Chains A and B, each alone.
Chain A
Amino acid sequence: MKTTFKEENNDFVMYLSGRLDTATSPDVEKDMQVLMDCEGHNIILDCTDLEYISSSGLRLFLNVLKNAKSKGSHVYIRGVNADINKVFAMTGFSNLFEFK
């Protein structure tokens, strides 16, 4: 599991690649601290290379969203594959996030 943080056009962008499961999520949670101080920036979670996500990963996504919302920022999800999209739909996350 690998994460990359970039600031693009004033947006905070995090590239996620590999399996975001229970084992890897504690590390990813630390990587995501950079997204917490997001005042004045929208956040983009780029899932183009994300192979797998479990409820632990979803939990992290929800954390980011809750924090951003309280600071008036938007969270966009970008490039999800069909299987992961299915999980998002199943859990109702499709209704919570904005997709790019």
Chain B
Amino acid sequence: MAENTNLRQNSKARVSIGILITAAVLVIVMGTVQYWFASSGIKAEVEEHARGELRVKSLEIKNVMTAAEVAVENMVWVVEQNLDKPDSMYSITRRLLSDNDGVIVGSAVGFEPYYYREKGRQYSPYSYENGDEVIDKQLGTDKYDYHEMEWYTETMRTGQGHWSEPYFDENGGEMMMTTFSYPVHDKKGKTVAVLTADLSLEWLSDVINKRRAFPSSFNVVISRNGLIIVSPVDSLILKYNAHSFATKNNDTVMQRVTKAMIDGSSGMATVKDPKGKKNYIYYSPIDGNTGWSMAVICSDQDIFQNLRQRNFILILLMIGGLSLLVFIISRSLNTFVKLQNVNAEKERIGSELLIASNIQKGMLPKIFPPFPDRDDIDIYGSLKAAKEIGGDLYDFFIRDEKLFFCIGDVSGKGVPASLVMAVTRSLFRTVSAHEASPERIMEQMNDAMAEMNESNMFVTLFVGVLDLLTGQMRYSNAGHCPPMMVDGNDVELLQMDSNVPLGLMMKWKYTVQEAMIAPQTTLFLYTDGLTEAENSAHELFGEERMIDTGRKNSDVESSEDLLSAMNDAVRAFVDGNEQSDDLTMLALRFTKNQAVIKLQRSLILPNDVNAVPQLASFVDDVCEQLDIDPSTNMSLNLALEEAVVNVMKYAYPEGTKGEVHIDAKASDKRLRITITDSGIPFDPTAQREADTSLSVEERPIGGLGIYLVRQLMDSINYNRVDGKNVLTLLKKLG
């Protein structure tokens, strides 16, 4: 059993682990696939987003720059028209400022050396915003020869518009600027001056970084030389060249990126920041003539944070679901295993019940006919148990030419009932072994059962004692259903006193009743399984149908025939409906025949032991008549002497006088000796038998007499009839 349980638990564990592993693999695969799809989707989306941002920012910047370019180009025309009025230049530069308030913060017209002779080598009217006012001054000074400056030289050289590298203006603006320069031509088409507009880049940082794609993403703009123009880190602006910075730091990826940016390409790269975190860089040139390039830098953390969180939650949910699943499966496996155990247990109980049922049936007499060598009694019984074992019982045996029999029904069903049934049957045997009165048998059984009745079970019981010599039946009934007497003419139920069932009332005085059973009469006993047999319409078989069946079969010639007739009637009545209660029946047919008497002798003795020799010659005479062998002759002598001496000693107390009548009657088959006296009631059959296995010291001197009678005769029977003790001894002949 333990091994089985282990096996089952092992296989259960194996199944559980198998399911767990399968499900875990599924979860991991699903999570990975989901994450991969989601992350590549997000990556594409981020790239799209970044490129969109780059495009938008680029356009915004381009718009501002172009506006400045257009304004300058338009103003160049005004300058060219007024070349002859050098002093009007301030009004032009001021106009450029006022027309582009907030964007163009300074403007100058730088003439070639000595363009106006009267103005000297450097003539460069310059207007710039200083707070709310506009200040005019000459840009060129001794310390600042603008003819050397890039914005001038480059513009003069190319003859085209030029954007300077961003720079920090320390001459008044105190801000980051870039300067757009445009050549001014005289009427002959010669470049004579450069008109500049200083573009404040204060707005640039705002434009670039006012909106960000992700919480910690940032944008960087570098100039065409790699100078950092916009960066979240202010200290880097205009101070570092991104490309040189990357080169210095040996950052090959950044080197490649900054090179590409300087070259004006678009692209994307993955870099690790100094903390080792992954970042994505999307870059693209800014439209227009500035040669600037912008990069959007997003951290991997930012991009995938949500996804990872979601994935984490998803996996948690999946693991939760998985655990739930495992729990449910293991529970149902448990239930399954329990069910298996319960089934095994049921099987075991079932087989034990079957064994119990067999043991129980084994207790009841079941070989019929039970007394094949007797011609005075014909018994047949049957017990058909309902689905399981029940508490019906019957029993019978013959002692001293008396048939002791009983039939009973224990309350309830199943094992408890069967145990009580077994106890009842044993008690019946034990008590009736030395007790011949049914009411006293009943009382002793009742007291014994009531005393140990912990569970308040009770037994209805009918006990009968049939004197096989006379046909006189004495019976006592403890609440059992009345037996039916069937003789050749009619059927009647036995009269019943009402007594309580056994086991309920300690010391209850049971009544005894008597009936004469005529030869060829069948006594039919049953339990309520018969009268309460139910058909499919829930009708009961009932007493009426039982009596009817008895009546129809009143001429049966054996107890077996009556029983099978009753069986057929019940079976026909229930018509296949399941039997709900034990069905127990017992039929006793008294078949005593009047034998042909071959010999009849009698002898009357006084109650004096000295008359024993007379008895001996009486016996010798009878034996001679019947041609009985000397050994049996001696046995009869001994038995008779013991029986008669017993009567003389005990039925007639010392000093009283009386007679002992001895009658011998013989048929072909048996010799019957009846000893009758008028003394006090004395039943020798009720005496305890001598124990012949005791040692010399323990052995009582007396008590052997009745023992010898039992040993020597085939049966002994006592009755108290009409105030006389009647002891009958039987010896089989031939």
Contacts and interface: CB of A to CB of B under 8 A. Distances in A.
Contact of B702 (A59, A69, A91): A59
B641 A62 contact: no
Contacts of A19: 613, 616
Contact of A87 (B638, B694, B697, B705): B638
A36 B165 CA distance: 160
B641 A91 contact: no
Contact of B693 (A58, A63, A82, A92): A92
Contact of A58 (B637, B694, B696, B704): B704
A92 B698 CA distance: 13
Interface string A70-93: 000000000000110011001110
A3 interface: no
A31 B522 CA distance: 59
Nearest to B695: A96
Most buried by B among A19, A92, A95: A92
B430 interface: no
A96 B704 contact: no
A19 B641 CA distance: 12
Given A52-B634, A63-B701, A91-B708, A23 B696 contact: no
A21 B641 contact: yes
B634 A55 contact: no
A35 B694 CA distance: 24
B438 to A, nearest CB: 31
A59 B708 CA distance: 13
B612 A21 contact: yes
Interface string B711-723: 1100000000000
B707 A91 contact: yes
Contacts of A83: 630-631, 634-635
A54 B692 contact: no
Contacts of B631: 82-83, 86
Interface in A34-77: 52, 54-56, 58-59, 62-63, 65-66, 69
B609 interface: yes
Given A22-B641, A23-B612, A96 B699 contact: yes
Contacts of A21: 612-613, 616, 641
Interface string B622-658: 0000000011001101100110010000000000000
Contacts of A63: 701
Contacts of B690: 91
Contacts of B309: none
Given A54-B642, A91-B704, A22 B612 contact: yes
Interface residues of B, number: 31
A62 B693 contact: no
B603 to A, nearest CB: 15
B638 A52 contact: yes
A36 to B, nearest CB: 15
Nearest to A97: B696
B610 interface: yes
A63 to B, nearest CB: 7
A96 B696 contact: yes
A87 B636 CA distance: 12
Contact of B708 (A22, A52, A55): A55
Contact of A23 (B613, B692, B705): B613
Interface in B633-690: 634-635, 637-638, 641-642, 645, 690
Contact of B638 (A54, A59, A69, A95): A54
Contacts, number: 67
**Chain B interface, DSSP helix/strand/loop, else mixed:** helix
B696 A62 contact: yes
Contact of A90 (B630, B634, B694, B711): B711
Contact of B692 (A55, A69, A86, A91): A91
A83 B630 CA distance: 9
Contacts of B635: 83
Nearest to B641: A54
A26 to B, nearest CB: 8
B696 A90 contact: no
Contacts of A96: 695-696, 699
A62 B699 contact: yes
A95 B701 CA distance: 16
Contacts of B611: 23
A31 B702 CA distance: 20
A62 B701 contact: yes
B712 to A, nearest CB: 8
Contacts of B641: 21-22, 54
A70 B164 CA distance: 153
B344 to A, nearest CB: 53
Given A83-B634, A96-B696, A55 B609 contact: no
Contacts of B699: 62, 96
A61 B145 CA distance: 171
Contacts of B613: 19, 21, 23
Nearest to A69: B696
Most buried by A among B635, B641, B693, B711: B641
B704 A55 contact: yes
Contacts of B705: 55
Contacts of A58: 704
Contact of B609 (A23, A62, A82, A95): A23
B235 to A, nearest CB: 130
A47 B537 CA distance: 80
Contacts of B612: 21-23
A76 B112 CA distance: 176
Contacts of A91: 690, 692, 704, 707-708
Interface string A9-31: 00000000001011100000000
A95 B694 CA distance: 9
Contacts of A82: 631
A96 B610 CA distance: 29
Interface string B192-220: 00000000000000000000000000000
Nearest to A19: B616
A90 B616 contact: no
A33 B611 CA distance: 25
Nearest to B642: A55
Given A21-B641, A23-B609, A54-B638, A66 B708 contact: no
A82 B638 CA distance: 15
A21 B611 CA distance: 11
A39 B302 CA distance: 127
A49 to B, nearest CB: 15
Nearest to B634: A83
Contacts of B692: 90-92
B617 to A, nearest CB: 11
A87 B709 CA distance: 11
A57 B704 CA distance: 11
Contacts of A86: 631
Interface string B471-497: 000000000000000000000000000
10 contacts: A19-B616, A21-B612, A52-B637, A62-B699, A83-B631, A83-B635, A87-B638, A90-B711, A91-B690, A92-B693
Smallest CB-CB A-B distances: 10 pairs: A92-B692, A55-B704, A23-B612, A22-B609, A55-B705, A22-B645, A83-B634, A22-B612, A54-B641, A90-B711
Given A22-B609, A83-B630, 4 more contacts: A54-B642, A55-B642, A83-B631, A91-B704
